[in-house]
Amino acid sequence: MSRKERFGSRREGLQQAKAKASDEETTAGSHDGELPPRRKKFPSSSQRVTKWYYNLLFFLFVCLVAGLFWYGVRFSE
């Protein structure tokens, strides 16, 4: 028996392990009492906070421009 036949190649072993893991995932996913993913159960609010932040910055910029315009009209002659 050759060494390759005796020990096999590492790549073949990894491919077999991946195939076995994917088979286990498909059989494990078929349970009825499976929990939803954490991302769906606890959604992130970072996009909502980012939207509020940018809207606040835009509002403050508009207030600054309006305030400077008012200041310029009021105190210049």
What does the DSSP 8-state code read for residue 29? Answer: T
Binned at pLDDT 50, 70 and 90, residue 51 comes out as very high
The answer to whether position 29 is within a domain reads: no
The answer to whether position 33 is within a domain reads: no
- Looking at residue 39, its pLDDT comes to 86
Higher-confidence residue of 50 and 22: namely 50
The answer to whether position 1 is within a domain reads: no
The answer to whether position 77 is within a domain reads: yes
CA–CA gap between residue 28 and residue 41 (Å, rounded): 20
Higher-confidence residue of 55 and 41: namely 55
The answer to whether position 73 is within a domain reads: yes
The answer to whether position 71 is within a domain reads: yes
The answer to whether position 67 is within a domain reads: yes
CA–CA gap between residue 68 and residue 77 (Å, rounded): 15
Alpha helices in the chain (DSSP H): 3-7, 10-28, 38-41, 46-75
pTM higher than the cut 0.85: no
Number of domains in the chain: 1
- Average pLDDT on 38-66 reads 94
Domain that holds residue 54: 44-77
- Looking at residue 26, its pLDDT comes to 58
